[in-house]
Amino acid sequence: MLTSVEEAVATRANRQLSVYNLSPANTVPSFLQGNAKMQADQGLAPSARAVADAAAVNRRLAELKVLDRPNSEREAIDLVMMEIAAHGLMEIGFLDSGRNSGGDFGRLAAITETLASYSGAVASIYVVNAVFGGTCLALLGNSAQKARFLPDIKAGKCQVAFALTEPEAGSDATSIKTVATRVPGGFRLNGEKIFTTGAAVADYIFVVARNEAVGMEGRQVSVFMVKQNTEGLTIEPLQKMAANLHASCRVVIQDVFLPEDMVLGGLERMDAAWSGLRVLGTLERFVVAASNVGLARAAADRAVEFAKARQQFGKPIAAFQSIQHKLVEMRTLVRAMSLMVAHAAELLESGADATEQVCMAKYYCAEQLQHVVACGMRVLGGRAYFQPEDMERYYREAPLALYAGGTVEIQKHLIARCMGLPAA
């Protein structure tokens, strides 16, 4: 027997299938088609399969009451990762070329969107491990590193965090000061990172640092794998306004010794990190936009559900035109956000340069999400202000969209470059 939470999640998943128009009988848009044989085998398009699997994860996590667990508890995050891996979702987040992935971009968006419709924290756990763990290693690691770490990351047994941002280097990531110095047998790492999500529970933190052993043409940047509990590493979880299950942390790195095999790419390819990080940045923006669609869809669905049930002046509030207009605005914006992400997926899939469209999707979805949740707060009236109403959580989760994957202002800055507008 389904609980009301499970029913709500199942309903959302079904709505997502219908919004994508992906029931088995329907024609699937070309950018979501993926592998035709797989469709024939399973009777579902790969993206529909991904939505169904992610919705099954949501149902199971609701059953396990994962969101009620204490903040940043490794055991709770293990439960999330085990469910995600058991449903095959970690196979999909791994894009080792960043291009021509045979349908994976549509699936990646579908999974992220579906998980985010349940919880921003769950989507964050997936994205950090699949994209910043798996894809980063697949893009930048050498064959020995991939063989050693990828199977456990895919199985959800090895968790990672990705540390780029520093107290003095946020939007201007090129100004990072964390530095790796070459010493016999490896490197010494010194610096400080902030907002590193998942660092408190990660087995490895992928630290982006200036590498004094790399020439300027490699932008003097490498990515180092720092094991949890290494001597010289201090991690302090920071309290956030939402998604504290997956804590963001301050990470102090003091004279940490790293053996040579802990620099991604090894000594031979440690200078190739910069181009890989650019691909990773595009993917991050893409999945953040997809997660915004999931959250907006959940808020819009909840508002409709509430408006039909809540009676005032002897009728459902959904009968009042001012409420109807808000519901219509929310639904329209969710559709537009979804199409922006779908177009970005199509471009990524085709191998064309998708930078402009991905930045537009990230910017547009981040801004419209704020409007959608604000409408949701109005529709629910005072109840929206009280826990455990979902809308209250959506309202707190939404602002992350403005910063994750680069701020909205930075997306506009990048779009301006794509338009050929002069730099300041």
Ligand X SMILES: Cc1cc2nc3c(=O)[nH]c(=O)nc-3n(C[C@H](O)[C@H](O)[C@H](O)COP(=O)(O)OP(=O)(O)OC[C@H]3O[C@@H](n4cnc5c(N)ncnc54)[C@H](O)[C@@H]3O)c2cc1C
Site string for ligand X, 58-97 (x = CB under 6 A): ----------------------------------------
Q: Which of 163, 176, 318, 347 binds ligand X (CB under 6 A)?
A: 163
| CB-nearer residue toward ligand X: 103 or 294 | 294
* 164 contributes a contact to ligand X by CB under 6 A: yes
- Least CB distance from residue 146 to ligand X, whole Å? 22
CA 130 to chain CA centroid, nearest Å: 9
Whole-angstrom Cα distance, residue 391 to residue 97? 38
Report the interhelical angle of 104-118 vs 4-19 (nearest 10°): 150
Q: Please state the φ and ψ torsions of residue 202, each to the nearest 5 degrees.
A: -70, 145
- Three-class SS state of 222: strand
266 counts as binding ligand X under rule CB under 6 A: no
Closer CB to ligand X, residue 353 or residue 409?
409
**Per this entry, what is the length of the chain?**
424
Name the one range near ligand X by CB under 6 A: 57-65, 82-90, 300-308, 397-405: 397-405
Q: In the chain, count of helices (H) and strands (E)?
A: 14, 9
d(Cα 162, Cα 263) in Å, to the nearest integer? 14
Return left, alpha or beta for 299; rule: phi > 0 is left, psi -120 to 50 is alpha, else beta: alpha
**What secondary structure letter does DSSP report for 350?**
H
Residues 20, 31, 162, 224: which binds ligand X (CB under 6 A)?
162
In angstroms, give the least distance from the CB of 127 to ligand X.
10
Among 170, 218, 266, 316, binds ligand X (CB under 6 A): 170
Residues within window 5-34 making contact with ligand X, judged by CB under 6 A: none
Q: Does 248 bind ligand X (CB under 6 A)?
A: yes
The residue range among 144-152, 223-231, 320-328, 405-413 that interacts with ligand X, by the rule CB under 6 A, is 405-413
Cβ atoms of 264 and 270 within 8 Å: the answer is yes
For the CB of residue 413, give the shortest distance to ligand X in the complex, in Å.
5
Q: From the CA atom positions of the chain, what is the Rg in Å?
A: 22
* CB contact at 8 A, 285 and 406: yes
Q: Is 193 helix (H, G, I), strand (E, B) or coil?
A: strand
- Judge whether 81 and 156 are in contact, CB under 8 Å: yes
Positive or negative, the CA dihedral 206, 207, 208, 209 is negative
C-beta closer to ligand X: residue 319 or 416: 416
For residue 55, the Cα-to-chain-centroid distance in whole angstroms is 16
Considering CB under 6 A, how many residues would be counted as binding ligand X? 19
By beta-carbon proximity to ligand X, the closer residue of 194 and 347 is: 194
The reply on whether position 120 binds ligand X by CB under 6 A is: no
> Does 406 engage in binding with ligand X (CB under 6 A)?
yes
> Could you tell me which stretch among 9-17, 165-173, 253-261, 346-354 binds ligand X (CB under 6 A)?
165-173
Q: Which of 167, 185, 184, 189 is nearest to 176 (CA)?
A: 167
Distance between CA atoms of residues 272 and 140, nearest Å:
7
- In angstroms, what is the minimal distance from the CB of 404 to ligand X? 6
Fill in the per-residue mask, 173 to 212: x = in contact with ligand X (CB under 6 A), - = not in contact: ----------------------xxx---------------
Nearer to ligand X, 16 or 291 (CB): 291
Selected binder of ligand X within 3, 26, 171, 175 (CB under 6 A): 171
Both structure tokens of 176: 């990072």
Q: Contacting ligand X (CB under 6 A), which of 111, 160, 289, 400?
A: 400
Instruction: Name the segment binding ligand X (CB under 6 A); options: 65-73, 157-165, 289-297, 369-377.
Output: 157-165
Give the separation between CA 320 and CA 330, rounded to whole angstroms: 16
Of 55 and 208, which CB lies nearer to ligand X in the complex structure?
A: 208
Interface residues with ligand X (CB under 6 A)?
Answer: 162-165, 170-171, 195-197, 240, 248, 400, 403-404, 406-407, 409-410, 413
